[in-house]
Amino acid sequence: MSKQLDTYRKEVAAELDNILSWWATHTVDELYGGFIGRVNNANETDATAVKGSVLNSRILWSFSAGYLLTKNERYLQLAERAYRYIADCFIDREYGGVYWTVDNTGKPADTKKQIYALSFAVYGLSEYYLASGNEAAKTDAIALYHDIAMHSYDAVNGGFIEALTRNWEEIADLRLSAKDANEKKSMNTHLHVLEGFANLYRIWPDVGLRAHIAELITLFTERIIDKTTYHLLLFFGNEWQVKSQTVSYGHDIEAAWLVQEAAEIIQDDALLKRIQPLSLAMADAASRGLDTDGGLWYEFEPADAHLLKEKHWWPQAEAMVGYFNAWQLSGKEAYLNASLSSWAFIQQHLLDKTNGEWFWGVREDYAVMPGEDKAGLWKCPYHNSRACIEIMKRIQQAPI
C-alpha cells in the first residue's frame, strides 16, 4: 500500500509541474497583459479571443496553490500576473462584481454579473492572499463576497440567484452556458459559491460568512442532494422547485468531497457528522457512471435512459479526489482503487503526450473530441492541477 501511494504521489507531482509549465509557456499574453483567451489542441493561440473571468480566476488559484505547495517562485510570479489582470480588467470598480468577459485588450465585453464567476474570483483571490499576503487581494475577495450576499442572496427562500445585470438588476437570461436551463438557481453555482466562501473563511473567519457557509451545506443536505438516488439535482425554481432530472456524474463526485471540506473548514462537527455519510453516498451514486476502463461518463438522462458517452477531463480529475476522500472516510480499498483507476485512465487517454496539458475529452471509442479548447472560457488549469495538489497533500497525511 505505501509503495503504491508513494508512486501515486510522485506521478501526480510530476504532472502538476507539467500542467503549470504548459500554462506558463503557452498562455501568457505578452501583448495585452494577463493570459491568452484561447489555445487549441495544437497549441495555436487565438490572440483575438475574449478572456473569461472564470478562466483567469482559476489560473490565479492554480498558480497560487501550486506555489503554496511547491514554493516554486515562478508560480508566484504568474499568480501575481493573474491578480493584477483581474484587479485591473475584470473587477467592476463602479458597480462591484466581476465582468463575465473582457475583450482581448482587456476592455469589458460581457458585463453580466454571473454569481458563479464572482465565486471563482473569491476563490482565486483568497488563495492568492494565502500565497502572497497581498492585502489588496484580500480586500477584493471580501468586497466580492459582500456583492454576492447583498445582491444575489434570497433571504426568503435561501440560496443565491444565478445572475444579474451589470448594475445588479434582474436579467432574463440567467444561464451559465448555452447547455444550462434558464432557471433562478442551480446546483453548480451553489457548489462553487460554497467553495469560494469556504476558501475565503480560511483568511477571514467572519461570523456572517460562516453562517452563509453553514446554510449552503444545509441546502445541499436538504435540497440539492436527491434523498432517493444521492445524485445531485441540477436546476431549481426560485422556491427550490426541481426543474431537472439530468444526472451529472462529475458533479456528484466533486460535491462528494467539496461539501465535506467546507464543513471541515468552518469546524462544524454537527454538519460534518451529517455530511460524511452523504459524501460516501454521493461517491457511490457517481460510481453508476464508471466504465470498466476506470473513466467516468459525462451525463445520464433518466427520462429516456440516455447515457452521454463522453469522458471529459474534469470529471476524471474530480474522481481522483472524490474517491480518495471516500477511501479516507471509510477505509474501503475499492474507493482507493477507483481513484487510482481514474488516474490510470487519464494517463492513458487524456494526457496530450505531444503538445502537453490534457485533452478536453474522449468519445466512446477513445477518439479525442474534436474542436474543443486546450485553454478557453471553460478549459482551465483548475480541476487537473487541484486533483494533483489534493492527492499529494492527502497522501502526505495518510496513515500508511
User: For 189-204, what is each residue's pLDDT tens digit?
Assistant: 999 999 999 999 999 9
Has residue 268 got a pLDDT over 80? yes
The rounded mean pLDDT for the chain is 97
Confidence band for 366, pLDDT divided at 50, 70 and 90: very high
**Cross-strand bridge partners of residue 91:** 98
Beta strands in 103-205 (DSSP E): 113-114, 163-164, 185-186
Whether residue 400 has pLDDT greater than 90: no
With 90 as the cut, is the pLDDT of residue 177 above it? yes
Indicate whether 165 pLDDT > 80.
yes
pLDDT in tens, 226-258: 999 999 999 999 999 999 999 999 999 999 999
**For the residues 157-167, what does the mean pLDDT come to?**
98
Q: Which three cell numbers stand for residue 210?
A: 460562516
Residue 399, pLDDT above cutoff 70? no
Secondary structure E strands in the chain: 51-52, 101-102, 113-114, 163-164, 185-186, 235-236, 247-248, 299-301, 306-308, 310-312, 361-363
**Tens digit of pLDDT for each residue in 115-144?**
999 999 999 999 999 999 999 999 999 999
| Contact (CB, 8 A) for 332 and 345 | no
Cell numbers describing residue 397:
497525511
When pLDDT is averaged across residues 370-383 and rounded to a whole number, the result is 97
pLDDT tops 80 at residue 394? yes
CA atoms of 120 and 373, how far apart (whole Å): 20
pLDDT digits (tens, 9 = 90+) for 60-118: 999 999 999 999 999 999 999 999 999 999 999 999 999 999 999 999 999 999 999 99
- Separation of alpha carbons 287 and 14, rounded Å: 27
Q: So where are the chain's domains?
A: 2-397
CA nearest to 235, candidates 297, 302, 176, 147: 176
Residues 6+ apart with CB under 8 A from 97: 91, 113, 118, 144, 147, 151, 166, 168
Q: What mean pLDDT comes out for the span 7-33?
A: 98
Contact 71, 83 (CB under 8 A): no
- State the pLDDT confidence band at 397, using cuts at 50, 70 and 90: confident
Question: Are 261 and 316 contacting, i.e. CB atoms less than 8 angstroms apart?
Answer: no
Q: Is 371 exposed, middle or buried, given 0-12, 13-18 or 19+ CB atoms closer than 10 A?
A: exposed
Alpha helices in 266-398 (DSSP H): 269-286, 313-330, 333-345, 382-397
Residues above pLDDT 90, as percent of the chain: 98
C-alpha distance from residue 134 to each of 8, 56, 72, 138, 146 (Å) = 34, 18, 18, 7, 19
Report whether 223 contacts 191 (CB < 8 A): no
Element housing 208 (H / E): helix 207-219
Q: Taking residues 141-157, what's their average pLDDT?
A: 98
Confidence of residue 398 (pLDDT cuts 50, 70, 90): confident
Average pLDDT estimate for 32-42:
97
Q: How confident is the model over 336-347, as pLDDT tens digits?
A: 999 999 999 999
CA angle 271, 274, 277 (to 5 degrees): 140
Query: Do residues 274 and 219 lie in contact, with contact meaning Cβ atoms separated by under 8 Å?
Result: no
* Topology classification of domain 2-397: Glycosyltransferase (1.50.10)
